[in-house]
Amino acid sequence: SLFQVLAERDLSDLEKSDIHFRIGSYYLMVNPDSSIYFDEKSLAFAQKAKNQEREFRAITAIGLNYSTKNEFAEAMEYLVQAQAYYDETPNSQMISKIFNEYGIIHLYQHQLDEAIPMFLKSIQYKKEIDDSVGIAKSLNNIAGVYEQLNKLDSSLIFHYQSLGLKEKLGNQTGIARTRS
């Protein structure tokens, strides 16, 4: 098995952290419980290696997994820890993920007025790293919030912005999802 191979190899704690993180990433949408297990292993190896970057990458992943499971209190515990780290050690990609997830958590808890500012904050960070695909997704999320608030004019504005980006990128799947 994979674990026997890993046990037999002379790997550093950092390498073990990375391997467990990759396995956890594989399971993210398939089985969040397995993903949490591997991300916690990744976290433990990162802590053992005293590598804060890998440690908080794992903490973020654990938070995302709990959110996927709709266990929002647990998700927020991890995401708030990660945000505190990334506020001190800027990483626009990771912080954009965190704010986007805050928006999703508020959306699923029907805290619609709180979701929009989180998605907008996520977009700010996504612009820093030129993540047009991520921006389009966040614009779509905002459009969905406005739709739920029955503010259809605002919803259309954000859907059209998202659609424009997806057309510019040639993202046929994204275009179809926006138009449906």
Residue of 15, 38, 109 lying closest to 67 (CA atoms): 109
Rounded CA-CA distance 118/180 in Å is: 25
pTM comes to 0.87
Residue of 3, 45, 44, 38 lying closest to 21 (CA atoms): 38
Binned at pLDDT 50, 70 and 90, residue 11 comes out as: confident
Please compute the mean of the pLDDT values over residues 5-21 and round it to a whole number. Answer: 82
Tens-place pLDDT, residues 65-90: 999 999 999 999 999 999 999 999 98
Rounded CA-CA distance 159/169 in Å is: 15
Distances (CA, A) of 98 to 4, 67, 69: 34, 11, 16
